[in-house]
């Protein structure tokens, strides 16, 4: 009940022994892919490169899909059920462009779960692994942000894949930012309720 996505991090570094301990909890997650490996990135320059790749993609998406008003009109007319999802992303993209970077504050580390791209259920398995990392990191006072969808962007960057030594038949299946949180708040679920059915 206290888990919350953290986007505001302190500038403090995370000790590498702590990062290794946190990432080791990925092994306890249920998985279909037994050949995952974790890449822990704590070099500020490499984190900066990741942010640049994400930011470039963000600006392109905004320019082509959100800036032209005709696109919103087409979504409303041809796919009205998708309009809510389409509009939900717009303020996030605008905030990112306004501040000139993808991260609100730079995380101390980024963890990637990488594995062979032809193994079924790898995406689901990676999310279980990241969730174990997330929960254990929080017990140590760290904040986490699952960079949902960003692995799609990062997988397309040849320069980043080369930098991180990700080979041709491998894929990033999950990405998480970690750092000491600079904000504190109570988790409150507003407007969300899971429907329950008996039998």
Residue range 166-190, pLDDT digits in tens: 999 999 999 999 999 998 777 677 7
Q: Residue 113 CA to chain centroid, in angstroms? A: 11
**pLDDT of res. 53:** 94
Is residue 136's pLDDT more than 80? yes
- Measured between alpha carbons, how far is 121 from 165 in angstroms, rounded to an integer? 23
C-alpha separations of 56 from 32, 62, 147, 148, 157 in Å: 33, 10, 16, 17, 11
pLDDT band at residue 2 under the 50/70/90 scheme:
low
| 43: helix, strand or coil | coil
Output the pLDDT for position 149.
78
Helix (H), strand (E), coil (C) string for 93-155 = HHHHHHHCCCCCCCCCEEEEEEEECCCCCHHHHHHHHHHHHHHHHHHCCCEEEECCCHHHHHH
Within 8 A by CB and 6+ apart from 185, the residues are: 4
pLDDT range class, residue 193, cuts 50, 70, 90: confident
Inter-residue long-range contacts of 166-172, CB under 8 Å, 24+ positions, other chains counted: 166/39, 166/114, 169/116, 169/117, 169/118, 170/114, 170/115, 170/116, 170/117, 171/114, 171/115, 171/116, 171/117, 171/122, 172/112, 172/113, 172/114
Span 66-89, average pLDDT: 91
Question: What does the pLDDT look like over 15-57, one tens digit per residue?
Answer: 999 999 999 999 998 887 778 999 999 999 999 999 999 999 9
- Cα distance between residue 155 and residue 57, in whole Å: 12
Q: Which residue has the tokens 């505001």?
A: 8
- CA distance readout (Å), 130 to 42, 58, 97, 146: 17, 23, 28, 8
Q: Is the pLDDT of residue 3 over 80?
A: no
Unique residue bearing structure tokens 């409303």: 76
């Amino acid at each position: 009940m206290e888990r919350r996505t953290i986007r505001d991090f302190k500038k403090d570094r995370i000790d590498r022994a702590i990062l290794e301990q946190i990432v080791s909890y990925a092994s306890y997650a249920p998985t279909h892919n037994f050949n995952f490996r974790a890449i822990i990135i704590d070099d500020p320059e490499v984190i900066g490169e990741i942010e640049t790749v994400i930011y470039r993609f963000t600006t392109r998406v905004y320019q082509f899909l959100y800036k032209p008003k005709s696109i919103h009109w087409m979504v409303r007319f041809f796919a009205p059920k998708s309009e809510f999802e389409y509009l939900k992303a717009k303020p996030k993209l605008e905030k990112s462009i306004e501040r000139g970077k993808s991260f609100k504050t730079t995380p101390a580390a980024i963890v990637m779960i990488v594995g062979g791209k032809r193994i079924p259920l790898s995406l689901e398995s990676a999310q279980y692994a990241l969730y174990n990392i997330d929960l254990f990191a929080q017990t140590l006072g760290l904040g986490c942000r699952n960079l949902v969808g960003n692995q799609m962007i990062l997988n397309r960057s040849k320069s980043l894949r080369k930098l991180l030594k990700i080979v041709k038949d491998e894929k990033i299946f999950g990405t998480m930012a970690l750092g000491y949180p600079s904000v504190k708040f109570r988790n409150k679920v507003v407007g969300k309720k899971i429907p329950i059915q008996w039998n």
